[in-house]
Structure 1
């Protein structure tokens, strides 16, 4: 297992190298720059600022310099807020995004998994149809529609929740964003769990367990559920990486000071270093969570070995 983890981490190095390289050159191909304003700066002032940040150098030299700094863990200063480094902005926004993303993921896995099991145990019955209909609606309605509806109903009409803001991490401020993030994920988990559970209940070892006289609780929880968890574990890895690195839409609509909102502001302002740092952060989270998923496979399914 340890050798497998080491190999996976080593193979992640060229993957990150390719991602950083593509992101670096693609963002500079886009028109505009961090110091292009509507009124425009005086050419001499603009030249001095670009010289200060090294943007007057050839593109290849900028790339090699950035790559060297990244290898030392330095993502550079923010071009728009030069008094703050990219690491300092992430240190403020990443904990917020992780709190929201982790809460939404746990809620989606628990509720969606439970609904999927209920639907599988009541296949082709009213409960099954209700879960399928709800999951289909939840997976097709986008978050930029769900978020304003939650604000309109729970914030403006019923006045149960704040319309937006972080409120120093108060629980009442987290409910709206967490629900918005969790609902589509919950719908997907419910559908995955339903299909996987139905297949698991029809397998030969479940028939054998029933023939041996085991109780329904033991058959479902101890045997069928374990085999049905594999698709959920596979889906949870990329979902965790996406949720915990900030939701661009949800954090912007609810005015949450997370990484997703930072990315939107940086992209609009052509803040190259913040955009690059966000891309690297998402790539690292994706690689790590996929590795965690592969390791969990060995614990969920005893047939999986990484010797």
Structure 2
């Protein structure tokens, strides 16, 4: 197992290199720059700012300098917030995204798994149809529609919750973004769980377990569920990376100072280092969570071995 983990980590190095390279040059191809948005900025001041941040160097020199900084764990300075580095901004924003994303993912996995099992056990009945209808609606309605409707109904109409903002981190401030983040994931998990559980319940070893007189609880939890969880584990890896590094739409609509909102502001202001730092962070999370998924495969399914 250790050899496999080390091999995966080594293969992640060229993957990260390709991601960083493509993202870096694509950012530079976009029109404008971090100091082109200032109206009436003196050309001399602009030239001095570009010289200070080495933006007057050739593109290759900027690229090599950025790679050198990353090798030392330096994401670079921010162009729009001179008092902060990208690492300091991420250190302040990441806890908000992780807190909301982890709760939303946990609720989606637990509730989606339960709903999927119920739908599979009552296949082609009213409970199954209700779960399918809910899952279909949750997976097709985008978050930029769910979030404003949630604010309109629960905040502006009923006045049960605040419209947005983090406030002091109270539960009422978190409910809106958590529910909005959770619903699409819950719908996908429920549909995956339903399909995989139906397939697992039709397996030969499940029929044998029933023939031996095992209880329904033992058959479902100890035998069928273990195999049915594999698609959920596969999906949980990239879903966790996306949620824990912040949702761009949800954090922007609910005014949550997380990574997603920093990415939006950085893209609007052509803050190259903030956007690049977000891309690198998401790539690292994705690679790590996919590695964790592969390890969990070996734990859940005894047929999987990484010798």
Q: TM-score range by the shorter chain?
A: over 0.9
User: Alignment partner of 1:167: what SS?
Assistant: coil
2:126 aligns with 126
> For 1:22-41, what per-residue CA distance to the aligned partner results, in whole angstroms no more than 9, with x for missing partners?
11110000000000025242
Q: Distance in 2 between matches of 1:65 and 1:305?
A: 41
1:55 aligns with 55
Q: Distance in 2 between matches of 1:44 and 1:167?
A: 41
1:195 aligns with 195
Kept in 1, the 8 Å contact 2:97–2:246? The answer is yes
2:82 aligns with 82
Q: Distance in 1 between matches of 2:130 and 2:29?
A: 49
Q: Does 1:299 align with 2:299?
A: yes
User: Alignment partner of 2:163: what SS?
Assistant: coil
1:108 aligns with 108
**TM-score, scaled relative to structure 1:** 0.99
1:252 aligns with 252
Q: Distance in 2 between matches of 1:86 and 1:229?
A: 38
User: Alignment partner of 2:168: what SS?
Assistant: helix
1:99 aligns with 99
1:11 aligns with 11
1:162 aligns with 162
1:264 aligns with 264
Q: CA deviation at 1:128?
A: 0.4
Q: Distance in 2 between matches of 1:215 and 1:58?
A: 71
Q: Distance in 2 between matches of 1:207 and 1:96?
A: 47
Q: CA deviation at 1:247?
A: 0.3
Q: Does 1:138 align with 2:138?
A: yes
Q: Distance in 2 between matches of 1:64 and 1:13?
A: 16
1:46 aligns with 46
Q: CA deviation at 1:172?
A: 1.3
Q: Distance in 2 between matches of 1:58 and 1:128?
A: 60
Kept in 1, the 8 Å contact 2:37–2:269? The answer is no
Greater shift, 250-259 or 40-49, is seen at: 40-49
> For 1:66-102, what per-residue CA distance to the aligned partner results, in whole angstroms no more than 9, with x for missing partners?
1001100001110000110000000000010000100
Q: Distance in 1 between matches of 2:134 and 2:285?
A: 30
User: Alignment partner of 2:57: what SS?
Assistant: coil
Q: Distance in 1 between matches of 2:5 and 2:115?
A: 34
> For 1:208-233, what per-residue CA distance to the aligned partner results, in whole angstroms no more than 9, with x for missing partners?
00000000010011100111000000
Aligned length: 307
- Counterparts of 1:155-234 in structure 2 under 5 Å? 155-234=155-234
User: Alignment partner of 1:251: what SS?
Assistant: helix
Kept in 1, the 8 Å contact 2:135–2:187? The answer is yes
Q: Distance in 2 between matches of 1:83 and 1:167?
A: 24
Q: Distance in 1 between matches of 2:10 and 2:230?
A: 25
> For 1:251-286, what per-residue CA distance to the aligned partner results, in whole angstroms no more than 9, with x for missing partners?
000000000000000000000000000000000000
1:285 aligns with 285
User: Alignment partner of 1:49: what SS?
Assistant: helix
Q: Distance in 1 between matches of 2:149 and 2:111?
A: 21
1:151 aligns with 151
